[in-house]
Structure 1
Amino acid sequence: MNRILFVCTGNTCRSPMAEGIMRSILAEAGLSDIEVRSAGVSAYPGTPISDHAASVLSMKGSSGPSESTLLSQSLVDWADLVLTMTSSHKRHTIQLYPEAVDKVYTLKEYVQDDAGAAVKIAEIETLLTEVQLKQALSEPVTDEERRRIEELQQEVPSHDIADPYGGSLRMYQSAAQEIEECLIKLAAKLRANR
């Protein structure tokens, strides 16, 4: 696994911070042969990254991309692993690029080490996909399906990293801290798999 793509919404906050922080972590861990990039499912190419995201990266001695990139087939093809910031980014990516389903995860999901939670997450993803298909075909969603999804979602911790967009520097620092904790686990996992 030599190429990792981080994905968020606009590629101006979370995924650029993940890209920049991960580069620093990889360099420190002696894993500099691993390449990282980032993109957004709704990015406007060329938009500068958020000032707060750039400030957080600078405070950490890291640097990310200077402008946003739209998620594309070529980026998905380039990546060995696609790590999204939220479950909705994951679903969106898989809807656009279904052939990549086996390499798309949320960042938190990929680094978790709770097998029981992984089974529940897989069930949630299956149920959500079935419900979306039913809705697209104008078929009714059963109360049992709704109840099971809600039940599972309450049992499983969120795999979403909150979007600091438009928030304070403190919100960006908090998001970056959450991302960095996951990236440290990711680097350890990458090192163990060598």
Structure 2
Amino acid sequence: MENSSNVRILTVCTGNICRSPVAERMLQAGLDAVRSGTFLVASAGTLAVVGAPVQLPSARIIESRGGRPDGFAARQLTPEMLRGADIVLTMTASHRSAVVRLEPSALKRTFTIREFARMLKALEERDAGPAPDADLVTWWKALPQRAAAVRHLALVNDAADNDVADPYRLGPEAYQRMEDELAPAVLTILRFAHRTAPAGV
């Protein structure tokens, strides 16, 4: 994630084996369909099971949503990863707090993924025309600032609605809940990417 000619997105959960890999692989597959090679999505965990593959139920969700779970190995979140990311999407508010404690400079680029999706909906309703033809990367790198400007339009009454529940070591119902909370947010981000892509992309 060092190439400045790409939009670099980092998804974050705890172990980096259930929630953030699903977000990573779904986002990557969908954003590749917007403009291949423009977006680089990675993930990490605040207490990662370093080197572990995606949990099997999460891998099945990735496959069912058009992504590929193979070749994955969990990584521990580091300040360097956060400094290299243009947008950081966490699974819960507590993960967002952990990100900012680890790398304070990431504050204005870090959101829970469900909150970020609601912000993009608000941007769409306000003024989301297509990105400039020549510089999609720069447009996306500036997106956190524009999203933060409509945060007040994306507030929820229950703070839990910002979080994606952790299914680790739980049964199929927990993984279904995770998918039900996470997938709509990912799909909202992808829909926004398609709708704001320059003509001809």
TM above 0.5, yes or no, is: yes
Instruction: State the shift of 1:66 in Å.
Output: 2.0
Instruction: State the shift of 1:114 in Å.
Output: 5.5
Matches within 5 A, 1:147-158: 154=157, 158=161
In 2, the alpha carbon distance for the partners of 1:21 and 1:120 equals: 26
- Among 74, 77, 91, the alignment partner of 1:71 is 77
- Secondary structure class of the residue paired with 1:179: helix
What residue number does 1:98 align with? 104
- Secondary structure class of the residue paired with 2:42: strand
In 2, the alpha carbon distance for the partners of 1:96 and 1:44 equals: 18
Q: Where in structure 1 are there 5+ consecutive unaligned residues?
A: 123-152
Q: 8 Å contact 1:47–1:68 — kept in the other structure?
A: yes
Structure 2 length as normaliser, TM-score? 0.70
What residue number does 1:25 align with? 30
The answer to whether 1:34 aligns with 2:39 is yes
Q: 8 Å contact 2:34–2:193 — kept in the other structure?
A: no
What residue number does 1:11 align with? 16
Q: 8 Å contact 2:93–2:112 — kept in the other structure?
A: yes
Distance verdict in 2 for CA 1:12–1:155, change over 3 Å:
closer
Distance verdict in 2 for CA 1:58–1:189, change over 3 Å:
closer
Query: Which is higher, the Rg of structure 1 or of structure 2?
Result: 1
Name segments (4+ residues, structure 1) moved above 4 Å. Answer: 153-157
In 2, the alpha carbon distance for the partners of 1:177 and 1:32 equals: 28
Q: Deviation per CA, 1:44-91: give whole Å up to 9, x if none.
A: 311222121112223334124522101112211221000000000001
Instruction: State the shift of 1:174 in Å.
Output: 3.3
What residue number does 2:169 align with? 166
Q: Indicate the structure with greater helix content.
A: 1
Q: Where in structure 2 are there 5+ consecutive unaligned residues?
A: 1-5, 124-149
RMSD over aligned CA atoms reads 2.7
